Structure formats: C-alpha cells, structure tokens
Amino acid sequence: MKFYYDLHIHSCLSPCGDMDMTPNNLVNMAKLLGFDVIALTDHNSSLNCEAAMKVGEEVGVVVIPGMELTTCEDIHAVCLFPTLEKALKWNDYVDSHRLKIRNKPEIYGRQVIMNELDEETGEVEHLLLPATDISIMSAHSLVKEYGGVCLPAHIDRDSLSILSVLGEIDPMCEFTAAELADKSREEELRRLHPILNNMKIITDSDAHYLENMREPESFIELDELTREKVLDFLDT
C-alpha cells in the first residue's frame, strides 16, 4: 500500500517555527492535506512530539517523533524514532551536547512547549538553533544507539546541508537515506553524487508555517503503516 508522508515539519517549539504551528494545527493540517504519516522535527528538540503524537492518535495520522539535529559542522540531519521514549532519551543526549545560549524571543522567536490541547506548558530557555558538538560522521551511528534513523536533511539546499558544507556524502557516515527539498532535482543529484544510488531518497516540506505544508507528493510502499516499518524502510 502507498502511504503519503512528510517527515520534516517544525512546530512552535522551533524559534523559527510560526506560533500557529501548534500540535493540533499541524497534525490536523496534515490530515486535511491527506498525509498518512508525518514526523515532527524541531531544531535540536523533541519536546513537542508527545502532544503531536496524541493528536495524531485522535485524528488518524501516524506521527513519528523526531528532531532536526544541527551537527558541529552546521549540517542539518533529520532524526526519527520508533517511540516517544527513545526520542526523549535522544533529546536529553542532545541537550547535554549543545551550547547553552539564552534565547532572545524578540529576536529569534519563542520556543513553546504545548500539550495535546495546544495549551502552553513551558518554554525552552536556551536557543535551540546553534550547532551541537555531534559530528555528521557519528550522527547516524549515535542515533541508531537510540533505536532511530538519521538522514542528512535538504541536501539540495545551498546552506546547512551536507553537500553545501562537505561537497559530498562520505560513505563513512553510513547514511542509508537522504532528504531532498525539491523532488525535481533527484535525477540530477543522483548523477552528480552516485552514492545516492545506494540510498533511499525522500522529499519533505520542512514546513515552519501552516501555509508551507504541501500537498502530498511522495509516498512509501509498505504492507502496513507503523512507525517501525517506516524506520525500517529508511534504514535498509
């Protein structure tokens, strides 16, 4: 069966994410657009995943708990987990591996934690955007220790991507999948970077605003839709 996905979406927890990206709004928008499975991937934090997963259960959208990691090289990588528990353990690990610079909400935006009723339950004090001390070379194997999958984000972008920073995807990184922002560039990138021919390529919206969420475009084929099966698909 085909399942439409968007595995890279930000909530109001990301400083650059719109305050309208509440757990209810983003999951319900995904439902309206026709997605079967989404992932919540805030910058260096998974603290809104619980609320989004609860909303997903209510409305019938599978929500994968995730994070968009900033590596020490300033490369973005999407991290996805099979359970909330594992995502939160990874969240704790990342929290102890990032710079603690106090957020200035008036400049960078608020970093709001919400419950499944879209009520504010907290705010992350330290800015979530800066690089962690985790290297892109070790990201995949580290995330795997937490039961998850890690893949380089928006590799076709001119900044904050593995190709813009390193020029190539080193096989030592052991990535099994990569994310494109623009699906139409897949063929060109496969030609320029043959390593991609041995990897799964997915396309996500990286939406920070409700209006950035796209119509479903890409799908994966699975016999049934579970978080584990999506992760297994990406990791083989």
Which chain residues interact with Zn ion by CB under 5 A?
68, 76, 153, 206
Q: What three-state secondary structure class fits 80? A: strand
> Which CB, 50 or 206, lies closer to Zn ion?
206
Report, in Å, the least distance between residue 11 CB and Zn ion.
Answer: 11
> 179-194 burial, b for 16+ CB within 10 Å, e for fewer?
bbbeeeeeeebeeebe
φ/ψ of 190, rounded to 5, equals: -65, -35
φ/ψ of 178, rounded to 5, equals: -145, 155
> Which CB, 214 or 229, lies closer to Zn ion?
214
| Residue 138: burial class (beta carbons within 10 Å; 0-12, 13-18, 19+) | middle
Report, in Å, the least distance between residue 74 CB and Zn ion.
Answer: 10
H or E element, residue 56: helix 49-59
Report, in Å, the least distance between residue 70 CB and Zn ion.
Answer: 8
Report, in Å, the least distance between residue 128 CB and Zn ion.
Answer: 11
Distance of CA 10 to the CA centre of its chain: 8
In the complex, residue closest to Zn ion by CB: 76
Distance CA 125, CA 40 (A): 20
> Which CB, 50 or 156, lies closer to Zn ion?
156
> Position 211: which residue type?
E
Instruction: Please give the angle made by the CA atoms of 104, 161 and 159, to the nearest 5 degrees.
Output: 65
> Which CB, 97 or 229, lies closer to Zn ion?
97
Report, in Å, the least distance between residue 15 CB and Zn ion.
Answer: 12
> Which CB, 99 or 117, lies closer to Zn ion?
99
